[in-house]
Chains A and B, each alone.
Chain A
Amino acid sequence: DIVMTQTPLSLSVTPGQPASISCKSTQSLLHSDGKTYLYWYLQKTGQSPQLLIYEVSNRFSGVPDRFSGSGSGTDFTLKISRVEAEDVGVYYCMQSIQRPYSFGQGTKLEIK
């Protein structure tokens, strides 16, 4: 199975400041179809996860453009250009190149 490792596990950010989360996989997430199956989800307190980014860098419908994703192969990054109060929660990366899909441990974002 593919293991996903996120860093840091928590971060505290002042509103308006940037934030960055790293995600590494134990195998390349580049599929033979040319796509890289790395996703980012945000789980707000008391809610189910919501999709932010699919295939490394594509924002899902309705996701603000302050969220961006980058990376390739086994190393990926989620960036928030200017953190807002509504961004608090736990961020998960997920691989879907092979089943069983697997998630990172989660990164808890708090506001200073």
Chain B
Amino acid sequence: QVQLQESGPGLVKPSQTLSLTCTVSGDSLRSGGHYWTWIRQHPGKGLEWIGYISYRGTTYYNPSLKSRVTIFVDTSKNQFSLKLTSVTAADTAVYSCARENGSGSRGTFDIWGQGTMVTVSS
């Protein structure tokens, strides 16, 4: 059974860097043709696609965040991580990692982490 679990600080100060990690169990980041994705949800709002790192290590970021976002993997720990720099209160959200199943139709997010709330505040 594939599971994803986010971890990281729940509170980040303005202008600092938000760093989150998603630990994957039951699957390998480098196999299966999947796209390992970060999605966030502002309080009481809808969903925003942040970006992904593919099974081949390629990345794609939402242009609205591109200058501040980095997604990378640690294959030895089977984890992928999100870094978002120069955060403001507008980055306060629940951050979730998800697997876009590469063997299914594009957009098939079949496995999600439970999500982690990150608050940007001094």
Q: Report yes or no: A54 in contact with B114, Cβ–Cβ below 8 A.
A: no
Interface check A103, CB cutoff 8 A: yes
Interface check B15, CB cutoff 8 A: no
Q: Report yes or no: A55 in contact with B46, Cβ–Cβ below 8 A.
A: no
Return the contact of A102 from the options B49, B60, B105, B109 (Cβ within 8 A).
B49
Return the contact of B105 from the options A55, A95, A99, A101 (Cβ within 8 A).
A55
Chain B residues, CB < 8 A from A50? 112
Residue of B nearest to A100 (CB): B62
Cα of A102 to Cα of B64 in the assembled complex, Å: 12
CB distance from B63 to the nearest CB of A (A): 7
Interface check B26, CB cutoff 8 A: no
List residues of chain B with CB under 8 Å of any chain A CB: 45-49, 51, 60, 62-64, 96, 98, 104-110, 112-115
**In the complex, the 10 A-B pairs of residues with the closest C-beta atoms, listed nearest first:** A96-B107, A48-B112, A100-B62, A103-B47, A101-B49, A96-B106, A105-B46, A100-B49, A106-B46, A54-B105
Q: What are 15 of the A-B contact pairs (CB < 8 Å)?
A: A48-B98, A48-B112, A49-B109, A49-B112, A54-B107, A60-B108, A92-B46, A96-B106, A96-B107, A99-B62, A100-B49, A100-B63, A100-B64, A103-B48, A105-B45
